[in-house]
Chain A
Amino acid sequence: MTTSDMTDVTGAESAGDPRANEAAGGAAGVAPVPAQQELSEAAADGPVTDHSGAELESEGIALPGDGAKAEKTTRAHRPRSFEVSDFERPTSKQEEWRFTPLRVLAPLFEDAETDVRGEDDHPVTYDVDTPEGVEASTLAPGEAPRGTALVPEDIVSAVASARCADALHLRAGRNAEIAEPARVTITGQGAERRGNAHIVLETEESAVATYVLDHRGSAQMAENVELIVGANSSMTVIALQDWDDDALHITTHHAKLGRDARLKHIVVSLGGRAVRVDVIGELVEPGAEIENLGLYFADADQYLEHRLFVDHAAPRCTSNSTYKGALQGKGARSVWVGDVLIRKEAEGTNTYELNRNLVLTDGARADSVPNLEIETGEIEGAGHAAATGRFDDEQLFYLRARGIPELEARRLVVRGFFAELIQQIDVPEIREHLTASIETELERSMN
């Protein structure tokens, strides 16, 4: 894609621009009562509009005063523990696993050790490339700061934590401003081999750093990524799931932000047989900000799940989440769940989350579930939008009737769809890599 291409499509889909074909909900301002009424009505009516045939969406909005139901469904009440025995094997009856193909991912629910077959024969290799100013070391279980942000919430995370003796720890020291990204290239050595990983990424007070985690090759990978974002620091994380077609991957990214800290968290999932990414962000000090960005492209028989949880537990924090996915081919499947909790003490919160899906062929399915729980009326704004559009034969005919060949027509649609997101990735080579990967995905669909 050329620069002029990108400029041209700026703002193709801007958040907060409710269109006819999207489900949107929200509350704003410091007038709790009307806002609550509006939300209650919205929840009762189920303001979910049709999205041209794609199968979609449910949404939940829990409010103060919903009593027992709200108590029970509050996302924050999920148990956390380092003990593997505290967790049961997931079943599809559990809300947090109801979409996930449990049979496909079954190997990852085993409490299995890392499949090391010799000193130089690990199931997953880690190539760590750090710029000056980023220190790399390892942390044993319980060795701070490991475990100060991430306490496992499910069995996969608990096993990954328990079975990783030496977590990779990358740290940008106080006031360090590091322009070059630190990269960890994580390469699976075989689809039948189990890897357990725990990675701790840290920016100390007022530090600025970018971390790139690039997953390649194939493995059965249980992974935790713990993000410790110190006061007034700025951390960017780019997690690429660039796996081969047979990889299985379940990962939990758990961030804790200090006062006035900023986290830009970017997930790009293109590869793998089945990938599930949980992204948890805790806003526990005032003035902190999370920006969650995600891009995924699911092919035939590929499952990609992204679950976000932003926990607003302190005043005047901001969170924005934008995830976009394209799907093509029979059995292509994506799930996006966006939970936002605004706790009683989180006055002055501003939050917005958006998920858009583009279904390119028949036989693909995208689910999109935004959930907003609000325990205080004293907020700046809270909203969400989810929509799934289809690229169908009539659209293809329309573009072709203007002289545009089929592959070019698909490119046009998909590039335009992702352009806004790709522009927000600050590392040029990753932008280029992404653009090229999307081209490859498209060409694959044409053959």
Chain B
Amino acid sequence: MSILEIKDLHATVETPEGTKEILKGVDLTIKGGETHAIMGPNGSGKSTLAYSIAGHPKYEITGGSVMLDGEDVLEMSVDERARAGLFLAMQYPVEVPGVTVSNFLRTAKTAVSGQAPALRTWVKDVKSAMADLKMDEAFADRNVNEGFSGGEKKRHEILQMELLKPSIAILDETDSGLDVDALRIVSEGVNRAKANTDLGVMLITHYTRILNYIKPDFVHVFVDGRVAEQGGPELAERLEAEGYERFLAGAE
């Protein structure tokens, strides 16, 4: 079973106004099979947490540690982190000109597993994963994210997650902007991955709606760059009723 341990993580970003600290000491441990919802208002640093773990060059880690199964994630390059078993489903997946989805998926699978997948089973796996996510077969021949709708991009992210089989997945506001059908399809994908692979999930969200589809084991309220409160699923219900004001007031 995998375990991701984040301890006292600090991160800064360069802005026109100077260096700004976004993460101010994050403590969080996610084990395989667990789902942790990270909830918080806009600007609280949720996405920065996701990108810092994935290794985006925009963020500088100024303190703390991130360990995956005892290995120092912060010492790894971006692609090494992915190969170690981390996956980030992005809020705004980028277009990649000239690269088809099928070519991209196979190259990524080859990189992550260290060898090219057996062609016949791979084609079958891709087709069935796409069918599960209600993605048309023609998708495979389109360029990565080029001309995709918002819902298509998110389904494409989940498709990658299902095929690459990470041990820990960070879903960065995967639910934002989705209609109910798309949200249900995407959530089913996450639940399938959990059932099939003992996946640990960090579910970053602004809204409680997705928690009707993906049941969290733990809920963390994220405010001003750190976890302000944590609890079980009942914490989400309280947030639903009370909003974030109580925590925001505390952060001032």
Interface string of A379-411 (1 = CB under 8 A from B): 000000000010101110111111111101000
CB neighbours of B160 from chain A (8 A): 402
A413-B99 contact, Cβ under 8 Å, with A398-B93, A408-B107: yes
CB neighbours of B164 from chain A (8 A): 402-403
Partner of B99, one of A11, A19, A416: A416
A413-B78 contact, Cβ under 8 Å, with A393-B57, A402-B112, A404-B111: no
A12-B79 contact, Cβ under 8 Å, with A397-B57, A412-B104: no
B109 to chain A: closest residue by CB: A403
In the complex, what distance in Å separates the CA atom of A10 from the CA atom of B146?
A: 16
In the complex, what distance in Å separates the CA atom of A20 from the CA atom of B94?
A: 14
- A403 & B108 in contact (Cβ 8 Å cutoff): yes
CB neighbours of B82 from chain A (8 A): 400-403
| A8 part of interface (Cβ distance < 8 Å) | yes
| B54 part of interface (Cβ distance < 8 Å) | yes
B100-122, CB < 8 A from A: 100, 102-104, 106-108, 111-112, 119
A416-B108 contact, Cβ under 8 Å, with A5-B103, A401-B78: no
Q: Which of B79, B143, B146 has the most CB of A within 10 A?
A: B79
| A375 part of interface (Cβ distance < 8 Å) | no
| B137 part of interface (Cβ distance < 8 Å) | no
- B108 & A395 in contact (Cβ 8 Å cutoff): no
- B98 & A12 in contact (Cβ 8 Å cutoff): yes
In the complex, what distance in Å separates the CA atom of A415 from the CA atom of B99?
A: 8
In the complex, what distance in Å separates the CA atom of A5 from the CA atom of B146?
A: 20
| B18 part of interface (Cβ distance < 8 Å) | no
CB neighbours of A13 from chain B (8 A): 98, 143
A8-B97 contact, Cβ under 8 Å, with A401-B88, A408-B111, A412-B107: no
- B98 & A417 in contact (Cβ 8 Å cutoff): yes
| B8 part of interface (Cβ distance < 8 Å) | no
| A288 part of interface (Cβ distance < 8 Å) | no
A417-B90 contact, Cβ under 8 Å, with A400-B82, A402-B112, A403-B83: no
Query: Interface residues of A: mostly helix, strand, loop or mixed?
Result: helix
B56 to chain A: closest residue by CB: A397
In the complex, what distance in Å separates the CA atom of A4 from the CA atom of B118?
A: 13
Q: Which of A394, A403, A406, A418 has the most CB of B within 10 A?
A: A403
CB neighbours of B128 from chain A (8 A): none
Q: Which of B78, B87, B88 has the most CB of A within 10 A?
A: B78
A393 to chain B: closest residue by CB: B57
In the complex, what distance in Å separates the CA atom of A13 from the CA atom of B141?
A: 10
Partner of A398, one of B96, B102, B147: B96
- B111 & A416 in contact (Cβ 8 Å cutoff): no
Interface string of A41-69 (1 = CB under 8 A from B): 00000000000000000000000000000
- A4 & B119 in contact (Cβ 8 Å cutoff): yes
In the complex, what distance in Å separates the CA atom of A399 from the CA atom of B55?
A: 13
- A404 & B107 in contact (Cβ 8 Å cutoff): yes
CB neighbours of B111 from chain A (8 A): 402-405, 408
In the complex, what distance in Å separates the CA atom of A419 from the CA atom of B197?
A: 36
- B107 & A389 in contact (Cβ 8 Å cutoff): no
CB neighbours of A404 from chain B (8 A): 79, 107-108, 111
| B29 part of interface (Cβ distance < 8 Å) | no
B97 to chain A: closest residue by CB: A389
A405-B79 contact, Cβ under 8 Å, with A8-B102, A412-B103, A413-B99: yes
CB neighbours of B119 from chain A (8 A): 4
In the complex, what distance in Å separates the CA atom of A5 from the CA atom of B108?
A: 14
- B54 & A401 in contact (Cβ 8 Å cutoff): yes
6 residue pairs from A and B, CB less than 8 Å apart: A9-B103, A12-B143, A358-B97, A397-B56, A403-B164, A417-B98
Residues of A within 8 A of B (CB): 4-5, 8-13, 19-20, 358, 389, 391, 393-395, 397-406, 408, 412-418
